[in-house]
Amino acid sequence: MLPKQLSKSEENYLKTIFNLSDSGNKQVSTNSISKILNIEPASVTDMIKKLSKKKLIYHEKYKGSAISKKGSKLAIQIIRRHRLWEVFLHDKLQFKWNEIHDIAEELEHVSSEDLINKLDKYLKYPKIDPHGDPIPNKLGEIDLIDKISITGLKISERGIVSRIIKEDENFFSLLKKLNIEIGTEILIEDIIDYDGSIEARIENKSVIISKNIAENIKITKI
């Protein structure tokens, strides 16, 4: 029988579980899903049951959820759609890189495969989206460019920002204040023992970046 289309909600849960599970490698807690989606844990439990019944995830009561192979495949296709639309919005429609996420969040649920493949072709099969995230191809294969974070650099080392992991407005506006975007060069001037904050030179100005933020910014060492 046909793998009946998922609802927008189901797609959002699946994508979230896939992401939280580190591409399918970890168990995911109900609470963590609840926090990302801004939906009460009780409701998350409901949807977990639903996705379990469809064999898109495995769930053990009170323990957590793991995504299945079938679930991963679908999640990757949703991520593919999201990232391709982001390329379109950024490269063709000239949206700023921090404006594209929310719109792509809507567009990703328009599920014509034909549409996505034609869009892919039109965009010339891009490998990464404007945040530096890799775009799965038609078959769901992803170029794993496993970059290090800013926290992976030592004092006096340099890197070029290649990928921004978090996607929320607050994070983006912070990055804007710090003058950080894809391609920005960063020099580590000091690492503060107390809490792991990093003092870095960006466009000739010294800034302090908290450890948490630094972990969410991937770079290429130079």
Partner DNA sequence: TAAATATTTTAGACAAACCTAAAAAATATA
Partner DNA sequence: TATATTTTTTAGGTTTGTCTAAAATATTTA
Q: Which two tokens stand for residue 1?
A: 């029988």
Residue 116 CB, nearest approach to a copy of itself (Å) = 10
Residue 123 CB, nearest approach to a copy of itself (Å) = 10
Going across the sheet that includes 198-202, the strands are: 148-149, 217-221, 158-164, 185-191, 198-202, 205-209
- Using CB under 7 A as the binding rule, whether residue 111 contacts DNA is answered as no
12 or 72: CB nearest DNA: 12
- Using CB under 8 A as the binding rule, whether residue 5 contacts a copy of itself is answered as no
- Using CB under 7 A as the binding rule, whether residue 29 contacts DNA is answered as yes
- Using CB under 8 A as the binding rule, whether residue 106 contacts a copy of itself is answered as yes
Which partner in a copy of itself, DNA, none is near 7 (CB below 5 to 8 A by kind)? DNA
- Using CB under 8 A as the binding rule, whether residue 148 contacts a copy of itself is answered as no
- Using CB under 8 A as the binding rule, whether residue 107 contacts a copy of itself is answered as yes
Residue 35 CB, nearest approach to a copy of itself (Å) = 24
- Using CB under 7 A as the binding rule, whether residue 42 contacts DNA is answered as yes
**SS3 sequence of 180-202:** CCCCCEEEEEEECCCCCCEEEEE
- Applying CB under 7 A, the span of 59-67, 107-115, 141-149, 185-193 interacting with DNA comes to 59-67
57 or 107: CB nearest a copy of itself: 107
CA separation, residue 204 to residues 69, 152, 171, 188, 197 (Å): 47, 21, 22, 12, 19
Would you call 154 helix, strand, or coil by DSSP? coil
Pairing between β-strand 217-221 and β-strand 148-149 as defined by DSSP bridges: antiparallel
Which partner in DNA, a copy of itself, none is near 49 (CB below 5 to 8 A by kind)? DNA
- Using CB under 8 A as the binding rule, whether residue 118 contacts a copy of itself is answered as yes
10 or 189: CB nearest a copy of itself: 10
- Applying CB under 7 A, the span of 35-43, 90-98, 122-130, 197-205 interacting with DNA comes to 35-43
Point out which residues bind DNA (CB under 7 A). Answer: 7-10, 12, 29-32, 34, 38-50, 59, 61-64
